[in-house]
Amino acid sequence: MLAVFQTIDLALSIYTWIIIASAVFSWLYAFNVVNSNNRFVGTVGEFLYRATEPALRPIRRILPDLGGLDISPIVLLLIIFFIRSLMWNSIAPAVI
């Protein structure tokens, strides 16, 4: 059972880094730091968008409009932190 919790924790950790990479990439793209005509840049951007948008879209619908500021990645990271803490501090000790 411990292996299941470790696998879930690893998946959440990897997804955390994908969310951070997506946020940084969006800033680089918005400020025209990366070449948007480059095929590799477009592929990386498309992957990050497709990987994070299904989780961020419901959060964006709930949050109020803050103009150009998008705090949905921060909210999602807090949710992931809560799930990981709940898993290791409440569920895992009861099951293992």
pLDDT for the residue 68 = 82
On whether residue 61 sits in a domain, the answer given is yes
Q: Which among 21, 64, 45, 83 is positioned nearest to 91, based on CA atoms?
A: 83
Residue 4 lies in a domain: no
**Integer Cα distance of 40 and 46 in angstroms:** 10
Residue 33 lies in a domain: yes
Considering the domain boundaries, does residue 91 fall inside one?
yes
Residue 3 lies in a domain: no
How many structural domains are present in the chain?
1
Task: Please work out, in degrees rounded to the nearest 5, the angle formed at the alpha carbon of residue 94 by the alpha carbons of 90 and 96.
Answer: 115
CA distance 63 to 74: 12
Residue 50, in any domain of the structure: yes
Residue 35 belongs to some domain of the structure: yes
What pLDDT shows up at residue 96?
Answer: 77
Place of tokens 């879209």: 57
Whether the CB-CB separation of 44 and 29 falls below 8 Å is answered with no
> From the first residue on, what is the mean pLDDT of each consecutive set of 10 residues in the chain (96 residues)?
95 98 95 92 96 97 89 97 96 88
Domain hosting residue 44, numbered range: 9-95
Radius of gyration of the chain, Cα coordinates, nearest whole angstrom: 16
1 belongs to a structural domain = no
Helices 39-62, 2-30: axis angle to 10 degrees equals: 110
